[in-house]
Amino acid sequence: MSKTLFEMPFQLCTAAGGCRGLDAGFGGPLCPPPARAPAEAGPVRAMDAIPRESKGESPQVMMHHGEEAPVPYGRAPAAADGRAPAACRGIFDRTLLGGTELPNRIFRAAVGDRTEDGAPGPASLDLYGALADGGAGSIVTGFTIVDELEKGFMPIFSLAEDRLIGAHRALTDLVHSKGARIFAQLVQIGSYQSEEFHKAVTPRLPFLTLMSPSGLHDPVSGAAPREITPSEIRRVQSKHAEAAARAVKAGYDGVEIHAAHGFLLSQFMQPGLNRREDDYGGSPAGRARMALETYRAVRSAVGACYPVLMKVNVMDGFEGGCVFGEVLELCRSLSREGLDAVETSGCWRKIPEGSGPFFLKEAGEMAARITAKVILTGGLRTREDMRAALDSARVEYLGVARPLMRDPDFVDRIRREDRMAAESAAAAASAAQ
Ligand SMILES: Cc1cc2nc3c(=O)[nH]c(=O)nc-3n(C[C@H](O)[C@H](O)[C@H](O)COP(=O)(O)O)c2cc1C
């Protein structure tokens, strides 16, 4: 098998031949050749409820897009779409996402990184090293610019230039050396910056770089962008593709397209900000087109087997925001075209406080209706929150941001609690016999 651009530390992939996991125990082809067209999931239905406590490092392995390895505990028939019943999912299962093995179901959800030159520096290496040491199985980087025109918009990571690949490689090597996975989050900022940043910096930016779907005032930053043109739309898409190819070269395990939180791609999904009358607006399909075509561009740059994720808002929490049914349809289309996972988020103008999964209902509906895996992010604070998300919704992964900002060892604490719960359940079961 010849090596290609898409060869990753934990997988071999060729455009024609599919992927093969290299870790022991992954003998067969895991990812089918290109032109993946997983069957569309059926309508929402009641969750299976087969109780089984998590067993720590369960050997259960979920195959790509719904294929399932034999379930070792022998009590869990696969659901009609091939996934394990929700109650069979352990927080610390090892799973496969697009042919790449993930150590557990917990993602560190993206948290913006501060850097002046776009390169991960010593502070980022320290942070990501601590997160990996603390048991975070998969880490999504902070939002990372794809277009050099947006250099200077925010002091965050960049994959907009080849010269930055080496610095990103140092970050991915570090995370891999600790057994975790790392995904690069790609963003086109558009007109959405923090108000503070906008007042301080945007007056110095070239007017031409501030773009939004219809040139309406950004309600958050107050920025006054202009309407993006069709050729600039194509540029945004190809910039995502180029950055994704750099992410592959830099050793990332996958990329996440940021189509949430008021950045350019998510603005296309907002009827209030997208008043376009061309192919990129005017109807649900029109509003979804930008995200869909950006995904296609990224997919064609990275090949069929490389994990591609997308973060979306399931609700914006204000009038004129996205419509859940439209987001769901977008995610169904993305799933049909091979998107590996959708991360559900929302209400980004004011991230809700408090505990308990914020978007459980929407994520559950999403998970029941699409074949891409769902990462539920927002409000997960305890092992019980996580179990509820796995048991009552068919989500596959759990995204956590703020708890890990406070405590990089948060995941290891959940792991200890999970083991204790499994031991108590086993003790109770044997006492009952
Ligand atoms: C300081 C901070 C920075 C964030 N940066 C990003 C980011 O770069 N990209 C992103 O998609 N979300 C970002 N988020 C949102 C989180 O990924 C997550 O969606 C949100 O915090 C809800 O999850 P939580 O309740 O576990 O914190 C950020 C959140 C915080 C608090």
Other residues' Cβ atoms within 10 Å of the Cβ of residue 27: 8
Q: Name the closest-CA residue to atom 22, ligand 1.
A: 378
Q: Name the closest-CA residue to atom 10, ligand 1.
A: 110
Ligand 1 centre to CA of 110 (Å) is 5
Residue 137's pLDDT is what? Answer: 94
Ligand 1 centre to CA of 73 (Å) is 36
Question: Which atom in ligand 1 lies closest to the alpha carbon of residue 380?
Answer: 26
Q: Name the closest-CA residue to atom 5, ligand 1.
A: 111
- Strand pairing partners for 350? none
- Indicate whether 60 belongs to any domain: no
Q: Name the closest-CA residue to atom 23, ligand 1.
A: 378
- Indicate whether 267 belongs to any domain: yes
- Indicate whether 270 belongs to any domain: yes
Residue 348's pLDDT is what? Answer: 75
Q: Name the closest-CA residue to atom 12, ligand 1.
A: 110
Question: Which atom in ligand 1 lies closest to the alpha carbon of residue 403?
Answer: 26
Residues of the chain with pLDDT under 50: 1-82
Residue type, 386: M
Ligand 1 centre to CA of 5 (Å) is 31
Ligand 1 mutation target, pool 345, 362, 398, most atoms within 8 A of CB: 345
Question: Which atom in ligand 1 lies closest to the alpha carbon of residue 404?
Answer: 26
d(C-alpha 413, C-alpha 241), whole Å: 38
- The binding-site residues of ligand 1, defined as CB within 6 angstroms of any ligand atom, are 109-112, 142-143, 185, 258, 260-261, 311, 345, 351, 377-380, 400-402
CATH code: domain of residue 370: 3.20.20.70
Question: Which atom in ligand 1 lies closest to the alpha carbon of residue 142?
Answer: 8
Residue 209's pLDDT is what? Answer: 66
- Indicate whether 39 belongs to any domain: no
Contact (Cβ atoms closer than 8 angstroms) between residue 320 and residue 273: yes
- Indicate whether 291 belongs to any domain: yes
- Indicate whether 112 belongs to any domain: yes
Tokens 């999403």 belong to 366
Torsion over CA: 367, 373, 376, 382 (sign) = positive
Distance set, CA 180 to CA 18, 258, 281, 355 (Å): 23, 21, 40, 26
Residue 89's pLDDT is what? Answer: 87
- Indicate whether 132 belongs to any domain: yes
Q: Name the closest-CA residue to atom 1, ligand 1.
A: 111
Ligand 1 mutation target, pool 108, 111, 257, 406, most atoms within 8 A of CB: 111
Residue 6's pLDDT is what? Answer: 20
Ligand 1 centre to CA of 42 (Å) is 31
Contact (Cβ atoms closer than 8 angstroms) between residue 150 and residue 428: no
| pTM of the predicted model over 0.85 | no
Residue 277's pLDDT is what? Answer: 96
Distance set, CA 316 to CA 222, 235, 245 (Å): 18, 26, 30
Tens of pLDDT, residue by residue over 321-348, are 999 999 999 999 999 999 999 999 988 7
Domain containing 147: what range? 97-429
Ligand 1 mutation target, pool 347, 402, 406, most atoms within 8 A of CB: 402
Domain count for the chain, please give it: 1
Question: Could you tell me the two tokens for 427?
Answer: 């003790």
Question: Which atom in ligand 1 lies closest to the alpha carbon of residue 187?
Answer: 9
Burial class (CB in 10 A: 0-12, 13-18, 19+), 86: buried
Contact (Cβ atoms closer than 8 angstroms) between residue 187 and residue 160: no
Q: 3-state secondary structure string, the chain?
A: CCCCCCCECCEEEECCCEEEECCCCCCCEEECCCCCCCCCCCCCCCCCCCCCCCCCCCCCCECHHHCECCCCCCCCCCCCCCCCCHHHCCCCCCEEECCEEECCCEEECCCCCCCCCCCCCHHHHHHHHHHHHCCCCEEEEEEEECCHHHECCECCCECCCHHHHHHHHHHHHHHHHCCCEEEEEEECCCCCCCHHHHHHHHHHCCHHHCEECCCCCCCCCCCCCEECCHHHHHHHHHHHHHHHHHHHHCCCCEEEEEECCCCHHHHHCCCCCCCCCCCCCCCHHHHHHHHHHHHHHHHHHHCCCCCEEEEEEEECCCCCCCCHHHHHHHHHHHHHCCCCEEEEEECCCCCCCCCCCCCHHHHHHHHHHCCCEEEEECCCCCHHHHHHHHHHCCCCEEEECHHHHHCCCHHHHHHHHHHHHHHHHHHHHHHHC
- Indicate whether 340 belongs to any domain: yes
